Structure 1
Amino acid sequence: MHLQELVHLPRWTLRALALLSAALLCLIPMADNASAHGSLVDPASRNYGCWERWGDDFQNPAMADEDPMCWQAWQDNPNAMWNWNGLYRNGVAGQFESAIPDGQLCSGGHAESGRYNSLDAVGPWHMTDVSSSFTMDLYDQASHGADFMRVYVTKQGFDPATQAIGWDDLQLLEVTGSYAPSNHYMIPVSTSGLSGRHVIFTIWQASHMDQSYYLCADVNFV
């Protein structure tokens, strides 16, 4: 139907067409949902935590003072927060240390795209209090399953608020077995001799293809 024909339609007909168009739009899946994957939700990864705290309130100027690291991420590239479930690389074939340079672990080495670079920023990221033994919750929105998880923590004495994270700054805590496709994978973790601010760095190797996720969660051992 041409524009000139629409102009002469009765008002009730135009209203019906508008309602029909709105209903049809609701049936179209959003791109983010179609390509949804997942992230750590407890303790929250940096980008999921930003989305959880500010996704419904991203225009609030209080973010700058209350959550400065999320604020800088939002200013740098809003997709770091909106696409909290898509921080992965394909085809790494287990060569994680070769694929992800020092200083780029929290962005998964995505320097070429710039989407997640802000997650590598050094500073006082929001922390989750944990004890020496705790359980992590990884939310798999697309039920990919996992071949394994590799869970690291920054070494005692390393300060992620003032230093960029490299592979030599990590100690391996846990290598899990496989997980059948589901929405939540619970990962028990035990530590010893850790206190204060640390980063939990998790590699999730998905099962549906050679797809690996790189997730930084800031914690405070109490």
Structure 2
Amino acid sequence: MRAPCHAHGGFLMRVLIALSAAVLLITMPFAGESSAHGSAIDPASRNYGCLERWGDDHQNPAMEQEDPMCWQAWQADPNAMWNWNGLYRENVGGNHRAAVPDGQLCSAGLTQNGRYAAMDTVGDWVAKDIANDFTVKVHDAAQHGADYFLVYVTKQGFDPTTEELGWDDLELVRETGAYAPGEGTPEDDPELGGVTVSIDASAEGRTGRHIVYTIWQAAHLDQPYYLCSDVNFTG
């Protein structure tokens, strides 16, 4: 009479193991969400900048006063920072204006079910001081390469602290050619890996606060990235 009990116990154990595996698969982040893709790291995109400044201290209440735009972003969705390198859309076919509406340029048209929506919030984002001749560094962790990069800068008179960003607010200042997968400077930082591509650009006549808007058309798929970096042109 003990054999049936043993068999029943073995069946229950197999069920528990199967359920545990299923739960693990459901709750694990997808591989690649935090280790692949990339973003503008200098001047930093909004969500990468928030991660740089607060990733090790993202629950510090001082952020609300010291860095209020990052504070609202962390409150809205911390995964926008943990997945700083996934701000892209797919199958755009080069028609960026149609895919990304005005007012949603920094979230790539509320991509990833709105994960990055807080990036569109208008306000006084931390801005990096740069010269009119500057370099955008785009990190390519997965070594996708690029069909091209487009670098835009907001027109003089646009105020990113009070105005929503639209396509008509931007001026294209640099368009590159293609980059082969793995082309760029290898990164020694273990948190990054991959390579970084440096893109020289110039924005004559700009002073004060602006947004540098970079589109990275990855080469491995029709997968463009849309990256807002806040800057202060020092002249």
Distance across 2 between alignment mates of 1:179 and 1:126? 30
Equivalent in 167, 191, 213 of residue 201 of structure 1: 213
Cα distance, 1:59–1:214 mapped onto 2, change above 3 Å: same
Determine helix, strand or coil for the equivalent of 2:106. coil
Cα distance, 1:111–1:206 mapped onto 2, change above 3 Å: closer
Runs of 4+ in 1 over 6 A off after TM superposition: none
Aligned to 1:164: 164
Alignment of 1:1-222 (within 5 A): 31-32=31-32, 36-110=36-110, 113-182=113-182, 183-222=195-234
Question: How big is the shift at 1:140?
Answer: 0.5
The one-letter amino acid of 1:120's match is: D
Distance across 2 between alignment mates of 1:206 and 1:171? 21
Asked if the contact 1:32–1:83 (Cα under 8 Å) also holds between the matched residues in 2, the reply is no
Question: How big is the shift at 1:29?
Answer: 9.2
Asked if the contact 1:151–1:200 (Cα under 8 Å) also holds between the matched residues in 2, the reply is yes
Cα distance, 1:140–1:76 mapped onto 2, change above 3 Å: same
Residues 75-105 of structure 1: CA distance to partner in whole angstroms, max 9, x if unpaired? 1111111110000001000000001000000
Residues 145-196 of structure 1: CA distance to partner in whole angstroms, max 9, x if unpaired? 0010011011100101000000011111111111122311010011210000
The total of aligned residue pairs comes to 197
The one-letter amino acid of 1:168's match is: D
Distance across 2 between alignment mates of 1:174 and 1:195? 18
The one-letter amino acid of 1:150's match is: L
Asked if the contact 2:208–2:233 (Cα under 8 Å) also holds between the matched residues in 1, the reply is yes
Distance across 1 between alignment mates of 2:103 and 2:29? 36
Asked if the contact 1:136–1:188 (Cα under 8 Å) also holds between the matched residues in 2, the reply is yes
Asked if the contact 1:203–1:213 (Cα under 8 Å) also holds between the matched residues in 2, the reply is yes
Distance across 1 between alignment mates of 2:223 and 2:112? 18
Residues 93-150 of structure 1: CA distance to partner in whole angstroms, max 9, x if unpaired? 0000001000000000026712000000000000011001011111011000001001
Asked if the contact 1:77–1:116 (Cα under 8 Å) also holds between the matched residues in 2, the reply is yes
Question: How big is the shift at 1:40?
Answer: 0.4
Determine helix, strand or coil for the equivalent of 1:56. helix
The one-letter amino acid of 2:137's match is: D
Distance across 1 between alignment mates of 2:105 and 2:78? 19
Determine helix, strand or coil for the equivalent of 1:113. helix
Question: How big is the shift at 1:60?
Answer: 1.1
Asked if the contact 2:87–2:111 (Cα under 8 Å) also holds between the matched residues in 1, the reply is no
